[in-house]
Structure 1
Amino acid sequence: MLELQGLTRRFGAVTAVDAVTLSVPAGQMVGVIGRSGAGKSTLLRMINRLTDPTEGRVLQHGRDVTALRGAELRRWRTDCAMIFQQFNLVPRLDVLTNVLVGRLNHLPGWRALLRLWPEADRAVALSALDQFDMARLAAQSAGSLSGGQQQRVAIARALVQEPSIILADEPVASLDPRNARLVMDALQDINRRYGITVLVNIHSLDLARAYCGRLVGLAAGGLVFDGPPEALTDAAARQLYGLEAAEAVGTAAPRVPVIA
């Protein structure tokens, strides 16, 4: 169980996240929705501890994540993997090496420093790539891939960390509709196949409704909706998104098979 207790983050006079209290049972796929600037990214970054809260706590199975330091904090970031909008891959490195970076915290210090990957870790990385139809591109430089392919590599990198939670921060924001579907298919497959908890910030309400069994809506940093997709009416969504409603609410494109 992941618990947020009164989680708050202020930047000077601006409150980005305002006293959010939330419980997420293990194995859920949760869509965090809301307009740009609602506090979605800050919320996920506080869970992963990339940003420290001003007030409140993050608990995982009763353990206070906000109190972790040093090696314990590094282990938490391994267990709570992040996927970013801009992929955060090393373009000049090949795809396989980018995925293997997710294994660094599983290696002895000297191996991690020299990046001497055991064959077992290479097999794990190739298996993760194969799940997303990317294994045949393992030797190709990451920078030569399309945006959708790079994001699937980033998801494979997160998967090989062997996390219990994956936080995806606007993972489809820079992708066309077809590639957005491929990436959301990959996240949903991880959630269903391995029971990994997935929290995904997503601006498209259409995609959130199609893929997430629970939606959490933020407005001005505060929690204003928490429930199943069918409970969020179009009228409520327009109230949540304000002037961005026309962009966020639309008709979902059909799913497409995973091909290169």
Structure 2
Amino acid sequence: MFELKNVSRRFGNKLAVDSVTLDIPQGQMVGVIGRSGAGKSTLLRMINRLADPSSGSIHFAGTEVSKLRGRALRSWQRDCAMIFQQFNLVPRLDVLTNVMLGRLNQRSTMLSLLAIFSREERIEAIAALERLGIEQTALQMAGTLSGGQQQRVAIARALMQQPKMMLADEPIASLDPLNAKIVMDALRDINEREGITVITNLHTLDTARNYCERIVGMAAGRVVFDGKPAELTAEAVKEIYGTDKDGAGIDETMTSTAINLSDPSAQGAASPSAGPQPLALAGL
């Protein structure tokens, strides 16, 4: 069980996250929705301990995560992988090396920086790339890839951490609908096959409904909705997002990431497993 107990975060006089309490069982896929500035990203950063709570506590499997320091904190950040909207890859390094850097907290920093990896680590990284359908990019510089490809590399890097939990901070915000589907399919596959808890911030309601078994809605730093997708009614959406100047609720079609997959070629492109034959492992 992962627990947040009355967690708050202040930035000066601004209360970015206000007394959030959540219990998340292992293996859930949770979507966090809300307007910009609702506190979604700050919440994920506190879970990963990139930011410290101003008050309250965070617990995982009996350990108070919010008190961890030093090596114990680095171990938690290994177990709680973070995927960022901006990808956070090293553009001048090849894709394979970027993926293997997911082992940074499990080995010597100097060995990682010098790109000294074992054959087993290289094979595991290639397998992660194959799973995401981008093994053919292994030797390309990360900066030459499209946004969708870079996000899949970031997910492969997170898999290399062998995490117990995966956090994704608006992972599809800058992607087109096709790449958004590929990325969300990959996160759901990881959740279902490995049983890894996935918590993802999303700005599109249809994505949250289609992929997440539980949705948490935030407004002004507080949780104002916590339930199943079917329970996310028009009234609940209004409470999360508010209304326009005429009092009307949000038009969900404006945020839709739906794509038309009636074209067989589009279906093939949308599959994370589609692509060239696996890269040969000989000599790695």
State the TM-score bracket (shorter-chain normalisation). Answer: over 0.9
Q: Secondary structure at the match of 1:245?
A: coil
Superimposed CA distance per residue, residues 67-106 of structure 1 (whole angstroms, 9 cap, x where no aligned partner): 1001110110000000000000011111100000001222
Are 1:245 and 2:250 counterparts?
Answer: yes
Please report the TM-score for the alignment, with normalisation by the length of structure 2.
Answer: 0.87
In 2, are the aligned partners of 1:32 and 1:202 still within 8 Å (CA)? yes
Write the distance in 1 (CA, Å) between the matches of 2:111 and 2:88.
22
Which position in structure 2 is the counterpart of 1:54?
Answer: 54
Write the distance in 1 (CA, Å) between the matches of 2:250 and 2:37.
14
Structure 1's 250 and 132: CA in aligned 2 closer, same or farther, altered over 3 A?
A: closer
Larger Rg over CA atoms: 2
In 2, are the aligned partners of 1:105 and 1:112 still within 8 Å (CA)? no
Q: Secondary structure at the match of 2:251?
A: helix
Superimposed CA distance per residue, residues 9-54 of structure 1 (whole angstroms, 9 cap, x where no aligned partner): 0111110000000000000000001111100000000000000000
Which position in structure 2 is the counterpart of 1:2?
Answer: 2
In 2, are the aligned partners of 1:169 and 1:202 still within 8 Å (CA)? yes
Superimposed CA distance per residue, residues 103-156 of structure 1 (whole angstroms, 9 cap, x where no aligned partner): 122224553353310000001100000001111110011111110000000000
Q: Secondary structure at the match of 1:183?
A: helix
Q: Secondary structure at the match of 1:32?
A: strand
Structure 2 alignment gaps of length 5 or more: 262-266, 276-284
Identical pairs, percent: 59
Which position in structure 1 is the counterpart of 2:165?
Answer: 165
RMSD: 1.6
Q: Secondary structure at the match of 2:173?
A: coil
Q: Secondary structure at the match of 2:91?
A: coil
Structure 1 alignment gaps of length 5 or more: none
Q: Secondary structure at the match of 1:199?
A: strand
The one-letter amino acid paired with 2:250 is: A
Which position in structure 1 is the counterpart of 2:80?
Answer: 80
Write the distance in 2 (CA, Å) between the matches of 1:236 and 1:41.
21
Write the distance in 2 (CA, Å) between the matches of 1:222 and 1:206.
22
Please report the TM-score for the alignment, with normalisation by the length of structure 1.
Answer: 0.95
Write the distance in 2 (CA, Å) between the matches of 1:212 and 1:142.
29
Which position in structure 1 is the counterpart of 2:20?
Answer: 20
Which position in structure 1 is the counterpart of 2:233?
Answer: 233
Write the distance in 2 (CA, Å) between the matches of 1:95 and 1:250.
31
The one-letter amino acid paired with 1:37 is: G
The one-letter amino acid paired with 2:18 is: D
Q: CA deviation at 1:186?
A: 0.7
The one-letter amino acid paired with 2:251 is: A
Write the distance in 1 (CA, Å) between the matches of 2:63 and 2:187.
26
Which position in structure 2 is the counterpart of 1:130?
Answer: 130
